[in-house]
Amino acid sequence: MATFIGGIHPQYNKLSASKPAETAPLPAQVVLPLSQHIGAPAKAVVAKGDTVKVGQVIAEAGGFVSVPIHATISGTVKEIATRPHPSKGRSPAIVIESDGEDSWVELSGCSKEDVEKLTVEELRSIIQKAGIVGLGGAAFPTHVKLSPPKDKPIDVVILNGAECEPFLTCDHCLMLEMAEKVLSGFELVKRSVDADKAYVCIEKNKPDALKAFTKLLEQSTFSGFELVPLDVKYPQGAEKMLIYAASGRKVPTGGLPMDVGCVVSNVGTCKAIHEAVYEGKPLVERAVTVTGAVKEPKNLVVRIGTSAAELLELCGGARGPIRKLIGGGPMMGMAQTTSEIPIIKGSSGVLVQIETDIDDAPERPCIKCAKCVDVCPMDLMPSILGRLARKDRFQEAANAHVMDCFECGSCAYSCPSRIPLVHWIKHAKNMFNKTCKGG
Ligand code: SF4
Ligand code: SF4
């Protein structure tokens, strides 16, 4: 059975599931934070007043675990200043004002024959130079993921087409509209780590995507590929859950997918890899779902750096006064304080909630029902972790594996007492890092 132990069945509310991707008009301005990925921030190589073309490097990688940032519109660098950031509050960013021309640098992709001759090092270098990071939200630089140490050989690659987060549909949209590019990019992932087996994993609530990939795989000459229809359950798309569902392997506590010979790649990342290698195109745009209490939920293909406010306007605006704006989905997304946040490489959604979407029921005492324990996909004891966090017993929380929590929210969702378990668990993790580890 292609699933994992634990998890929940929330209302999926995929309001934009049947909507084709719409290309958003070019923004008048983009805000491109220097930190859009895990690892060292990029370093600006342009200055105020410089003119830039789309695809031009405007910030170079700040180390091995880093990628460059490219201009996503053509125009003039207005400033390099601190601006709102969807996960960091505020951070340094390059602001470009459009010249309305959309002039690109010259792109030079590889022909099919050239691609066949590329070494794995050349492939990884193209991916790094294109600024590609995991587009599923984690934003880990892809070339690093594809460079495992020699003692961690990879034999399995997994295409993550689960998109289990409620409301979000941009990956589903890519699987329908760009299936060939997604599969081609995934084949390059397989090649770059020399894996034997490639699992294409899609949840069963996307029968059209399953059909599209069944057909593509029947027609392709790729070897070692297998389609895996996944049971519909949240958080099916989390790396560790997906690896277990597809291969039966369990990533150890504190471990990484490479510890069990696996690499997982999101569908948007694979599409970006195809475009970088075959078209020479750096990562300057991505698909984003704009949804919730907006007049017309949509899947939009947007230039990175466009503001969430602009995307809300393209969807007809909110259906009432906004009570909560979330970057991402309702389970793992982050509440935002302003709609001026830019779409960054890891942004998969913008979710609007109004008064009627918010449940303000008060928190009550724990009734020891163990529902949170039953649903935790990491086999943790969320009620105990929450209690330890409230009492500042961070070392004990760490001993109870609080650091293994990846904040999926299943425990808090299931809690009949409305205890904000994820809030307390995040607090314990932060405080353990600051106080017990001396960080
Ligand atoms: S403890 Fe963490 S991993 Fe477990 S259900 Fe809660 S948020 Fe998810
Ligand atoms: S689900 Fe809530 S009430 Fe039940 S044991 Fe967990 S924390 Fe307590």
Cβ of 422 closer than 6 Å to ligand 2, yes or no, is: no
Residue to mutate, 8, 363, 364, 368, ligand 2, most ligand atoms under 8 Å from C-beta: 368
Whether 439 shows a pLDDT value over 70: the answer reads no
The CA-atom distances, in angstroms, between 395 and each of 34, 125, 401, 404, 438 are: 34, 41, 10, 14, 12
What residues contact residue 121 under an 8 Å CB cut-off, 6+ apart? none
Whether 1 shows a pLDDT value over 60: the answer reads no
Residue to mutate, 8, 9, 236, 378, ligand 1, most ligand atoms under 8 Å from C-beta: 378
Q: What's CA 29's distance to the chain center, in Å? A: 24
DSSP 434: I
pLDDT-based confidence at 438, cuts 50/70/90? low
Query: What would the mean pLDDT of 178-203 be, rounded to a whole number?
Result: 97
What are the domain boundaries of the chain?
1-15+107-358, 371-436
Whether 171 shows a pLDDT value over 90: the answer reads yes
How does DSSP assign 336-368, residue by residue? ES-TTPBP-TT--EEEEEEGGG---PPP-----
- pLDDT at position 62: 94
Whether 138 shows a pLDDT value over 60: the answer reads yes
Query: Which ligand is located closest to the Cα atom of residue 376?
Result: 1
What residues contact residue 429 under an 8 Å CB cut-off, 6+ apart? 402, 403, 405
Q: How far apart are CA 315 and CA 290, in angstroms?
A: 7
| Mean pLDDT over the full length of the chain | 96
Closest C-alpha among 131, 9, 88 to residue 337: 88
Query: What would the mean pLDDT of 34-41 be, rounded to a whole number?
Result: 92
Per CATH, the number for 1-15+107-358 is 3.40.50.11540
What percentage of the chain exceeds 90 in pLDDT? 94
CA of 413 to the centre of ligand 1 (A): 10
Cβ of 405 closer than 6 Å to ligand 1, yes or no, is: yes
Query: What would the mean pLDDT of 238-262 be, rounded to a whole number?
Result: 94
Which residue bears the tokens 């504190």?
254
Cβ of 415 closer than 6 Å to ligand 2, yes or no, is: yes
CA pseudo-torsion sign 36, 41, 47, 51: negative
Give residue-wise pLDDT tens across range 291-350.
999 999 999 999 999 999 999 999 999 999 999 999 999 999 999 999 999 999 999 999
Query: What would the mean pLDDT of 137-146 be, rounded to a whole number?
Result: 92
Query: What would the mean pLDDT of 409-436 be, rounded to a whole number?
Result: 94
Residue to mutate, 363, 364, 369, ligand 2, most ligand atoms under 8 Å from C-beta: 369
Cβ of 422 closer than 6 Å to ligand 1, yes or no, is: yes
Give residue-wise pLDDT tens across range 61-98.
999 999 999 999 999 999 999 999 999 999 999 999 99
- pLDDT at position 290: 98
Burial degree of 327 (CB within 10 A; 0-12, 13-18, 19+)? buried
Atom of ligand 2 nearest to the CA of 414: 1
pLDDT-based confidence at 434, cuts 50/70/90? confident
What residues contact residue 117 under an 8 Å CB cut-off, 6+ apart? none
Q: How far apart are CA 145 and CA 160, in angstroms?
A: 15
- Output the pTM of the full model: 0.95
Give residue-wise pLDDT tens across range 219-243.
998 999 999 999 999 999 999 999 9
Cβ of 231 closer than 6 Å to ligand 1, yes or no, is: no
